Amino acid sequence: MIGAIVSAIVIGAIVGALARLIVPGKQNMSMGLTLIVGIVAALLGTLIAQMFGFADTRGIDWWEHILQLVLAIVGVLIVVRVQAGKSHT
């Protein structure tokens, strides 16, 4: 259980940071929010990968990590859009 939490935090930090690097333009979001988006993406990505049976493969679970990164990119885009909408009102 503790290992899963630590893993979600570490992977979440990595995919959150990578997502911010991939999304074009300046994102006006804190590192804490980036970490939260990354952790949520990591957990959802693992859950989806387990549902489809490709979470536990030999070696590195590349497809699971790619899914987590895609979810993090979507999460960053959503946060940026929501914050942009709030700043215009």
Mean per-residue pLDDT pooled into runs of 10, the chain (89 residues): 83 94 90 94 91 80 91 95 79
pTM for this prediction: 0.87
- In this prediction, residue 69 carries a pLDDT of 95
- In this prediction, residue 7 carries a pLDDT of 86
- Scanning 23-61, the segments in alpha helix (DSSP H) are 31-51
What is the longest distance spanned by two Cα atoms in the chain?
Answer: 50
**Burial of residue 9, with CB atoms counted within 10 A of its CB: 0-12 exposed, 13-18 middle, 19 or more buried:** middle
Q: What are phi and psi of 77, to 5 degrees?
A: -60, -40
**Nearest CA among 8, 19, 31, 15 for reference residue 78:** 19
Are residues 39 and 88 in contact, defined by beta-carbon separation less than 8 angstroms? no
- In this prediction, residue 25 carries a pLDDT of 87
- In this prediction, residue 89 carries a pLDDT of 61
Are residues 67 and 45 in contact, defined by beta-carbon separation less than 8 angstroms? yes
